[in-house]
């Protein structure tokens, strides 16, 4: 009998692969942080001896969620300026507050708050874009969550850097420091077409090609962004990115709310991943992404929360449910989007977008053990005729009871075991009293 680290025996496993198969009464065998085997529970204990065995008879197991677009440190600005349009929100509230407060400590404490919320909500990997990435990386390393951390670039000065060269110098210094960490990957993160010049994009593209790095950026978030680009450049932002050679399978395009047929084709032909952030888009009044259009073009669609300053939650279950319901409502077809499809967007599609599909995003032998367990034996989720349906439409994130990342337990019986919630809450309140409301 092989000695292994963990055996997890739930009622149901959905691996997030094509085919929508839900395995019943199977066990996941975890060793050295890896999914070693998936076998019928009736056989597992005659094959393996485990240090820890989890009998989860009321639970659905899924791959951990991949939050494919976040600005985690902005959780300290959660609820700071609500019910405002994107430009007022950014120019009059968020950017002034950031210029006053953002620094290494802000990013470190904001990232802790965000990561605590994300793990409780079943997120095991996040794709972050912000300043002082070394502060986020410090928390990521301490907690043991998986992260793709962007090297942020803007054409203008912030508390973090002065000009594009300065951003990139600092970004690459950060990258060099953390490049060997097993849970951290990096990518280039130019903010958006309306904050980055062609010249800077050209530099970024050169680095991306030389270093084989992904690019994470905002693209077609608002109709004003598209109109502004047509006015300034004569083409839409997507067409401009095509002309600059930025479109490609390594581009993670956050938002894609206002996309013409021609632009959707450009995304599709180039293998760009679109990252939907439907709660943030709706709350800021930016619009609602046309999921049917993106899927009709066979674009890889992943999901993100955007920041807590615009969402105001880092809850991937909400994102799945909201995108599902609003897409059914807008298209007036309830058959559109089965729960399994949404779960794939929140897991394996995110892994593909981030270039991590060999490592995570599905429950597959050989992948790292990024796994979550949801208790469906609750007043809210019972009866349970179909576990994916109970998960998608009835359960909340409060039903997530276990989270394992790279094989390590991060949430145990609903309790965070990798971060001190009280300490985070105390620090958050100190930041709130400093920041106040304008």
> In the window 379-408, what residues touch its own copies (CB under 8 A)?
379-380, 382-386, 389-390, 393-394, 396-398
Site residues (CB under 8 A) for its own copies, limited to 359-378: 377-378
Candidate segments 3-11, 145-153, 321-329, 357-365, binder of its own copies by CB under 8 A: 321-329
Is 431 near its own copies (CB under 8 A)?
yes
The pairing of beta strand 371-375 with beta strand 273-276:
unpaired
Binding mask of the shown chain, residues 131 to 170, with x at each position contacting its own copies by CB under 8 A: ----------------------------------------
For its own copies, the closer CB: 173 or 425: 425
Longest dimension (CA), the chain: 69
Is 328 near its own copies (CB under 8 A)?
yes
49 in the Ramachandran plot: left (φ > 0), alpha (ψ -120 to 50) or beta?
beta
Contacting residue, 3, 210, 334, 415, with its own copies by CB under 8 A: 334
The DSSP symbol for 64 reads P
Tokens of 34: 């890896």
Candidate segments 33-41, 299-307, 364-372, 421-429, binder of its own copies by CB under 8 A: 421-429
The Cα–Cα gap between 343 and 321 comes to: 10
What is the nearest approach in angstroms of its own copies to the Cβ of residue 55? 18
What is the nearest approach in angstroms of its own copies to the Cβ of residue 152? 23
Residue 43: CA count within 13 A, CB half-sphere: 8
Site residues (CB under 8 A) for its own copies, limited to 76-115: 76-80, 82-86, 89, 113
What is the nearest approach in angstroms of its own copies to the Cβ of residue 349? 19
Contacting residue, 90, 192, 244, 282, with its own copies by CB under 8 A: 282
Site residues (CB under 8 A) for its own copies, limited to 195-224: 223
Q: What angle do CA 395, 400, 402 make, to 5 degrees?
A: 155
Contacting residue, 148, 281, 305, 360, with its own copies by CB under 8 A: 281
What is the nearest approach in angstroms of its own copies to the Cβ of residue 365? 30
Contacting residue, 5, 15, 98, 117, with its own copies by CB under 8 A: 117
What is the nearest approach in angstroms of its own copies to the Cβ of residue 424? 7
For its own copies, the closer CB: 246 or 376: 376
Candidate segments 12-20, 64-72, 140-148, 275-283, binder of its own copies by CB under 8 A: 275-283
What is the nearest approach in angstroms of its own copies to the Cβ of residue 408? 20
Site residues (CB under 8 A) for its own copies, limited to 287-306: 287-288
Q: Report residue 86 CA to chain centroid gap.
A: 21
- Sorted by sequence, the CB contacts under 8 Å of residue 159 that are 6+ apart come out as 98, 99, 102, 103, 131
Tokens of 364: 């597959």
CB 350 within 8 A of CB 125: yes
Site residues (CB under 8 A) for its own copies, limited to 180-199: none
The residue count for binding its own copies (CB under 8 A) is: 72
The Cα–Cα gap between 270 and 116 comes to: 35
The Cα–Cα gap between 396 and 209 comes to: 41
The Cα–Cα gap between 250 and 20 comes to: 27
For its own copies, the closer CB: 195 or 432: 432
CB 244 within 8 A of CB 205: yes
For its own copies, the closer CB: 30 or 342: 342
Q: What angle do CA 203, 209, 215 make, to 5 degrees?
A: 75
Contacting residue, 230, 244, 295, 435, with its own copies by CB under 8 A: 435
| Nearest partner of 373 among 415, 322, 413, 419, judged by Cα | 413
Cα dihedral angle (50, 56, 60, 65), rounded to 10 degrees? -50
What is the nearest approach in angstroms of its own copies to the Cβ of residue 183? 21
Contacting residue, 159, 260, 322, 409, with its own copies by CB under 8 A: 322
Return phi, psi of residue 369, to 5°.
-85, 80
Is 338 near its own copies (CB under 8 A)?
yes
The Cα–Cα gap between 368 and 370 comes to: 6
What is the nearest approach in angstroms of its own copies to the Cβ of residue 273? 22
Return phi, psi of residue 124, to 5°.
-115, -10
Q: Report residue 302 CA to chain centroid gap.
A: 8
């Amino acid at each position: 009998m092989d000695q292994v680290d963990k055996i997890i025996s739930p009622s149901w496993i959905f691996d997030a692969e094509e085919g929508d198969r839900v395995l019943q009464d199977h066990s996941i065998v975890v060793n050295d942080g890896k999914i070693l085997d998936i076998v019928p529970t009736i056989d597992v204990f005659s094959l393996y001896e485990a240090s820890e065995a989890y009998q989860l008879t009321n639970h659905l197991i899924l791959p951990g969620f991949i939050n494919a677009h976040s600005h985690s440190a902005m959780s300290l600005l959660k609820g700071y300026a609500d019910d405002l349009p994107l430009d007022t929100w950014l120019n009059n509230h968020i950017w002034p507050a950031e210029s006053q407060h953002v620094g290494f400590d802000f990013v470190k404490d904001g990232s802790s708050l965000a990561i605590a919320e994300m793990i409780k909500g079943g997120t095991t990997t996040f794709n972050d874009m912000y300043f002082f990435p070394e502060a986020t990386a410090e928390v990521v390393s301490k907690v043991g969550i998986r992260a793709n951390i962007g090297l942020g670039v803007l054409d203008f000065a912030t508390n973090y850097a002065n000009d594009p060269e300065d951003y990139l110098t600092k970004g690459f210094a950060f990258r060099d420091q953390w490049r060997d960490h097993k849970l951290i990957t990096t990518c280039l993160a130019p903010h958006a077409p309306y904050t980055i010049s062609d010249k800077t994009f050209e530099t970024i593209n050169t680095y991306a090609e030389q270093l084989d790095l992904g690019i994470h950026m905002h693209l077609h978030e608002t109709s004003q962004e598209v109109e502004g680009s047509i006015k300034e450049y004569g083409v839409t932002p997507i067409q401009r990115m095509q002309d600059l050679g930025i479109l490609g399978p390594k581009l993670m395009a956050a938002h894609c709310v206002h996309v013409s047929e021609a632009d959707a084709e450009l995304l599709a032909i180039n293998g760009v991943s679109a990252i939907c952030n439907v709660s943030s888009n709706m709350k800021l009044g930016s619009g609602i992404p046309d999921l049917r259009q993106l899927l009709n073009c066979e674009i890889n669609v992943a999901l993100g929360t955007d920041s807590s300053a615009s969402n105001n939650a880092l809850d991937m279950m909400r994102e799945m449910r909201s995108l599902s319901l609003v897409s059914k409502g807008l298209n007036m077809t309830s058959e559109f989007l089965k729960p399994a499809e949404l779960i794939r967007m929140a897991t394996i599609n995110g892994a593909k977008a981030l270039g991590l599909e060999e490592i995570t995003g599905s429950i597959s032998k050989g992948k790292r053990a990024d796994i979550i367990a949801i208790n469906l034996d609750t007043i809210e989720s019972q009866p349970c005729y179909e576990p994916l349906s109970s998960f998608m439409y009835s359960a909340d994130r409060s039903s997530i009871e276990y989270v394992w990342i790279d094989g390590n337990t991060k949430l145990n019986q609903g309790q965070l075991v990798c971060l001190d919630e009280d300490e985070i809450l105390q620090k958050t309140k100190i930041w709130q009293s400093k920041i106040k409301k304008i």
